[in-house]
Structure 1
Amino acid sequence: MDDPRLTPVSFLGVGEMGAALIRAATAAGFPVTAWNRDRSKADVLSGVSVAGSPADAIAAAPTVVVCLFDIASVHEVLDPVVHGLAGHRLINLTTTSPDGARELAAWAAAAGAEYLDGGIMATPPMIGTPNSSVLYSGSRHLFDDSRELLETWGAAEYFGHDAGMASMYDLALLSGMYVMFAGFFHGAAMVGAAGVPAKEFATRAVAWLQAVLPALTEYAEVIDGGDYSLPGQQSLYFSDLTDILDASRQQGISTEVVDVVQRLIHRQIDAGHGRDGFARVIESIKHSEAAA
């Protein structure tokens, strides 16, 4: 007998991530209807009813999950069928900006639909595993009422009524990831120019980064306290990256990645804060160069 708690769900978008979300939901027993522009991508999913149009998919279930390319594609798909959303629950897992999520929340409310925005902190293969998490903001009622569905994809965490907060956290965490990866790529290019394989360098980089990551908590305490002159901090003078830049040029590689950090450091040094700790570079980030 079907579990009466597992209400039907419709999915709009069957890309790699959408397909992973669908597989996790169907594996948990949810009745799923899917729509995709390229119907063949939906046809290959087992245990799924395939809708011929977005309107048909919306009509098939009270909960509609949207996982498309961007906010423009969300509007392109849903604007023509907006009247069909009245009384529905809309969960948007399309990556958008915080303001984009807020705009969609207002748009959904005007259509008579509950809205929940999600930021997926996982790759498609991670969906449904302990390493997957999805951040949510928007309707608390929708979040609580849909926990069984949401937890099929990974750990579900709620960040409040402001629909833009999940996106804010998502993009902020991704910014840390991308900058860290870019730093690794720079290091790999440095030693690579001397014939060291990236795989060998990665082994050392992983161990090194794991050793220094606890410093994030220490930096956070300094930033929240606002006192960058506390003893025990590495000064901005000592943090100067000239040696890294010189070594990079000598290896014949681009210095663009490191240049960014060096500029942040020197904006604070030039403003008279060279003896303060390295965490002070956040002030260069928080304020435009003209206002620094």
Structure 2
Amino acid sequence: MGQALARAFLAHGHPTTVWNRSAAKGDALVAAGARRAASVADAVAGAGLVVVCVVDYAAARQLLEPAAAALRGRTVVNLTADTPDAARAMAAWAADHGVDYLDGSIMTPTITIDTPDAALIYSGPGDLYRRHAATLAALGGTQRHLGADPSRAAAFDVALLDLFWTAAAGMTHAFALAKAEGIDGADLVPLAEDMAGLLKASMAEHGARLDADRYDADIAELSTIAAGLEHVVTASERRGLDTAVQRAALAQMRRAIEAGHGGDDLSVLSAALLAEREAVSRA
């Protein structure tokens, strides 16, 4: 991803200096016109904008802390994925060292950078984002500033990744179950795509219900949904498939049903998770 970001800046005429712990990874970028730095401090010395993209915030801190003096008065845009708590800690470190800081997340794969399909989100001071928005636009696609709270981009990131990877886990299991029942993947795809469209169509209502704290069922009750998921678990186990994920989802539904929400909409599960969190924190 770091190479893709640097290529995009170079393609849009921005003088770009690169540094990587594995120096050879910068060879193609240097050939394309980038300057190779000997160290992080060397990389940031002449930069008004420093973009960081590594595996996590611990790695980012490890790289940036020795260069703190060189970073003073400069802007760091951290496009490393991590948690909201890590983003808050990173922003506090930057403030303590006189470093202007924007947190961000890249919500699309490497191949989308510098294309209309890219999607990036940022959080931190609005004036700081506006100052660098034109340069960051080189990364392509949709760029959104989500507010002054530096942890907001990371919070959106983990929520959206939760949605995607949990759904992806369901997809992998569904195709395995179909195959175990003699259904080819190609035959399942058209109906699976319709099902994914149904999930997408339900999101706006789900969010609105949670915001309004309104969970009366008008299409399907939670008890009926749980019965359907029980069929999935039974069919999967009869074919020898692991059902840990499906059983976890079913257990969540059963807890809500036992709490009196069997006649409510599926969206009540979000409220139930929040209520469980509150109960744990009070305990």
Deviation at 1:290, TM superposition (A): 9.2
* TM-score under structure 2 length normalisation: 0.92
Contact 2:210/2:271 (<8 A) preserved: no
Aligned to 1:26: 10
- Over the aligned positions, Cα root-mean-square deviation in angstroms equals 1.6
Partner SS for 1:281: helix
Alignment of 1:1-292 (within 5 A): 17-45=1-29, 46-153=32-139, 154-230=141-217, 232-240=218-226, 241-288=229-276, 291=279
Partner SS for 2:223: coil
Moved more, 165-174 or 189-198: 189-198
Closer/same/farther in 2, CA of residues 111 and 291 from structure 1, 3 Å limit: closer
Deviation at 1:289, TM superposition (A): 7.5
Q: Deviations over 1:25-83 (max 9, x none)?
A: 11111000001111111122111000011111011212111111111111111111211
What is the aligned length?
Answer: 275
Contact 1:68/1:74 (<8 A) preserved: yes
* Letter of the structure 2 residue corresponding to residue 159 of structure 1: L
Contact 1:233/1:278 (<8 A) preserved: no
Closer/same/farther in 2, CA of residues 36 and 289 from structure 1, 3 Å limit: closer
Give distance in 2, aligned partners of 1:264 and 1:85.
47
Give distance in 2, aligned partners of 1:194 and 1:220.
35
Q: Which has the higher helix share?
A: 2
Give distance in 2, aligned partners of 1:276 and 1:62.
54
* Letter of the structure 2 residue corresponding to residue 129 of structure 1: T
Aligned to 1:4: none
Partner SS for 1:284: helix
Contact 1:233/1:276 (<8 A) preserved: no
Deviation at 1:195, TM superposition (A): 3.2
* Letter of the structure 1 residue corresponding to residue 34 of structure 2: V
Moved more, 197-206 or 218-227: 197-206
Fraction of identical pairs, as percent:
34
Contact 1:90/1:115 (<8 A) preserved: yes
* TM-score under structure 1 length normalisation: 0.89
Deviation at 1:273, TM superposition (A): 1.8
* Letter of the structure 2 residue corresponding to residue 189 of structure 1: A
Closer/same/farther in 2, CA of residues 159 and 185 from structure 1, 3 Å limit: same
Deviation at 1:141, TM superposition (A): 1.9
